[in-house]
Amino acid sequence: MPPLPNICPSSIASDQFVTLAHGEGGRAARRLIEERIVPRLKSTVAGELTDAATLPPLAGQPVMTTDSYVVSPIFFPGGDIGKLAVYGTANDLAVSGARPLWASLALILEEGLSMATLEQVLDSIAAAAESTGVQVVTGDTKVVPRGAADGIFVTTTGLGQLLNRAPAGPQSLQSGDRIIASGPIGRHGMAILAAREGLGFDPLPTSDCGSLWPAVKALHDAGCQVRAMRDATRGGAAGVLQEWAAACQRTMAIDEAAIPLAAEVRGACELLGLDPLHLANEGTMLVAASPEEESQVLETLRGAGGCAEATVIGQVVARSSVPVFVRRGRGVEIPLEEPQGMPLPRIC
């Protein structure tokens, strides 16, 4: 069948760059999948990678979540779009009280993307999946013409199994409950901002991109009864606090001096006039727990990987005129606004 003129001028397969031919149903597409994608993900999966994966029966209720990742730049200090996609999806399952088990991987590639970049992202996906116990069981690859996408977009869907003791959720929050940050906040947002804008900070802010599953598992194994957990991604900690305040019809009172911050995030925020509560995180969560559970939750989190700096940053109080306020210097209580849009597109 002769190619039609003016439809796909660059449908010739290439070994170094992704071409439109790699996205269609022919030999080039099959070779891309069989030779470059499947071997890199094989280590994560017990069976074969197929168009539709038949999985072992689940002992408990399934939990499903999905996210598209369009982060720019693709590679940033502390991570890349592949690592972000796997951990982001695993974290959504974990904070919902589910053990992450399986993931699907859908790639949208721009014609002209270098194979080396694709392979680096795939290796990163495989490493993150393995480290957090997730098998990449099925996938899809599309290629769009130059200019119709920006390099690579990754959509991961996660499937997990509900633990036998999932959090009751933010609607169950009571006055007096402690609000705990699992670690320093704002690192991912600041890392992306600095990388994208070429801000010459020294040291460079590094993303917290990582798995929350070890921390959630530790809380579960220790029998901690937390009321709510939420990874503070887009919208930052502020977004989670607004959501919790709306769900329980109480006010979230945050103590600015208690918020854990990396030195470089603190410095950059002061310089740029940004509030770290508004910056995205990709491996840091907020946890709400009763005063009775506080010490066990903190101790358990600090003993779990990656949460050594877990600390109480505020508490739930009776509903006042504002849903969230921050006690700043000299005890002044300032309402925390929900921004219209964030100043930083494409952070994840």
* C-alpha triplet 188, 189, 191: angle, nearest 5°: 65
233 vs 300 by CB, closer to its own copies: 233
Quick one: which segment of 9-17, 35-43, 218-226, 292-300 binds its own copies (CB under 8 A)? 9-17
148 vs 318 by CB, closer to its own copies: 148
For tokens 């399934």, name the residue.
Answer: 62
The contact mask relative to its own copies for 21-60 (x = CB under 8 A, - = no) is xxxxxxxxxx--------------------xxxxxxxx-x
- Provide the b/e sequence for 78-104 (b: ≥16 CB within 10 Å): bbbbbbbbbbbbbbbbbbbbbbbbbbb
Cβ contacts of 27 within 8 Å, gap of 6 or more: 13
> What does the H/E/C string look like for 247-279?
HHCCEEEEEHHHCCCCHHHHHHHHHHCCCHHHC
- Count the neighbouring beta carbons within 10 Å of the beta carbon of residue 308: 12
Applying CB under 8 A, which of residues 70, 128, 229, 265 lies at the interface with its own copies? 70
C-alpha 119/C-alpha 260 separation (Å) is 36
- Count the neighbouring beta carbons within 10 Å of the beta carbon of residue 106: 17
Applying CB under 8 A, which of residues 18, 37, 41, 98 lies at the interface with its own copies? 98
Quick one: which segment of 142-150, 212-220, 286-294, 302-310 binds its own copies (CB under 8 A)? 142-150
Applying CB under 8 A, which of residues 41, 44, 49, 65 lies at the interface with its own copies? 65
Applying CB under 8 A, which of residues 18, 105, 287, 313 lies at the interface with its own copies? 105
Amino acid at 100: P
Q: Shortest Cβ distance from residue 316 to its own copies (Å)?
A: 21
Q: Shortest Cβ distance from residue 52 to its own copies (Å)?
A: 4
Applying CB under 8 A, which of residues 35, 43, 47, 68 lies at the interface with its own copies? 68
Assess 14 for contact with its own copies (CB under 8 A).
no
C-alpha 279/C-alpha 344 separation (Å) is 9
Applying CB under 8 A, which of residues 17, 36, 39, 106 lies at the interface with its own copies? 106
153 vs 298 by CB, closer to its own copies: 153
Query: How big is the chain, counted in residues?
Result: 348
Q: Shortest Cβ distance from residue 230 to its own copies (Å)?
A: 9
Contact yes or no for 183/284 (Cβ under 8 A): yes
Applying CB under 8 A, which of residues 115, 127, 144, 247 lies at the interface with its own copies? 144
For residue 287 the two structure tokens come to 């946890």
> In whole angstroms, how far apart are CA 84 and each of 68, 92, 328?
10, 12, 32
DSSP assignment, residue 93?
A: H
Quick one: which segment of 136-144, 172-180, 317-325, 327-335 binds its own copies (CB under 8 A)? 136-144
262 vs 348 by CB, closer to its own copies: 348
The contact mask relative to its own copies for 235-274 (x = CB under 8 A, - = no) is xx--x--------------------------------xxx
Total of chain residues touching its own copies, rule CB under 8 A: 97
DSSP assignment, residue 267?
A: H
Q: Shortest Cβ distance from residue 192 to its own copies (Å)?
A: 11
Applying CB under 8 A, which of residues 49, 81, 84, 93 lies at the interface with its own copies? 93
C-alpha 209/C-alpha 182 separation (Å) is 13
C-alpha 122/C-alpha 288 separation (Å) is 35
- Interacting residues with its own copies between 157 and 216 (CB under 8 A): 157-159, 162, 166, 193, 197
26 vs 305 by CB, closer to its own copies: 26
Cβ contacts of 201 within 8 Å, gap of 6 or more: 194, 264, 267, 268
Q: Shortest Cβ distance from residue 82 to its own copies (Å)?
A: 16
C-alpha 242/C-alpha 282 separation (Å) is 18
Contact yes or no for 317/309 (Cβ under 8 A): no
Assess 18 for contact with its own copies (CB under 8 A).
no
